[in-house]
Amino acid sequence: MKIYEARTAPNPRRVRMFLAEKGIDMEYVQLDLAGGDNLAETMRSKNVTTKIPFLELDDGTCIGESMAICRYFEETHPDRPLLGTTPLQKAQVEMWQRRVEFYFFLAVGMCFQHTTGYFKDRMTPVPAWGEECGKNAVAFLDTLEQHLAENTYLCGDYFSAADITLLCALDFARVVKIKLQDQHANLKRWYELVSSRESAKA
C-alpha cells in the first residue's frame, strides 16, 4: 500500500505523525500540487476530491481524507490507540479533533488560500474572507489556552490524534504569521511537550 501526498502540506503530516506513533512503515508518493499532479485524470480516478493525502491499498481501493486514513490504521493496528479507548474518550477525541479542525485548522487554511491566492488557478480567492478567517483562528487560540490550563493534552492526560491535528495546524499557521503569543503560556507548554515527540519529525 502507499500514500499519495505532498511533503510540505499540513494534512499529510497529520497522517505521517499518526503512523509514526503507531510504528507503521509506509511508502509515500510525492505529488507536486502547484504543478497540478493531483488534478491529473489518473489521480482523480483514484481520489475524486483531488485532495491529499490519500491511501491506496494493495487491491487498488483508495481512501481519501486524513482522518479516514487514520481511522483505517486505528482499526487495523489497535495497539497504541490514538482515537480513544472508552466510549467517552472516543467521543472526547472526536470532539477536540473536530473543534481544532473547524475552528482553527480550517480557518488557517482558508486564510492562507484566500489571502495569498496560492491556488488561484483552481479557486476564487475572497481576500476579505481570508482576513476574517485569520482573526477567527487567532481568537480560537484563547479558547484552547483556557482549556489547556486544566489539561495536559487536549483530552486530559491522553495524547491523541486531536493533539496531532493541533500541532500540524499550529506549525502551518506560521505561513500566515499566526504564532503563539505571551498570553498563551499553556499552549506553549503543550507545544513543547507535543513537538518534542519523535513522531513530530515524521
Q: Is 34 helix (H, G, I), strand (E, B) or coil?
A: coil
Residue 63 within binding range of a copy of itself, rule CB under 8 A: yes
The smaller minimum CB distance to a copy of itself, of residues 17 and 69, is found at 69
Residue 149 within binding range of a copy of itself, rule CB under 8 A: no
Q: Which of 2, 120, 122, 143 binds a copy of itself (CB under 8 A)?
A: 143
Instruction: For residues 16 and 182, give the distance between their C-alpha atoms in angstroms, rounded to a whole number.
Output: 30
Residue 14 within binding range of a copy of itself, rule CB under 8 A: no
Residue 88 within binding range of a copy of itself, rule CB under 8 A: yes
29 pairs with which residues across the strands?
Answer: 4
Residue 8 within binding range of a copy of itself, rule CB under 8 A: no
Q: Residue 157 corresponds to which cell in the numbers above?
A: 492526560
Q: Is 55 helix (H, G, I), strand (E, B) or coil?
A: strand
Instruction: For residues 179 and 201, give the distance between their C-alpha atoms in angstroms, rounded to a whole number.
Output: 20
Q: What are phi and psi of 178, to 5 degrees?
A: -100, 120
Contact 25, 202 (CB under 8 A): no
Residue 95 within binding range of a copy of itself, rule CB under 8 A: yes
Residue 193 within binding range of a copy of itself, rule CB under 8 A: no
Q: Residues 106 to 135: which contact a copy of itself by CB under 8 A?
A: 124, 126, 128-129, 132
Residue 45 within binding range of a copy of itself, rule CB under 8 A: no
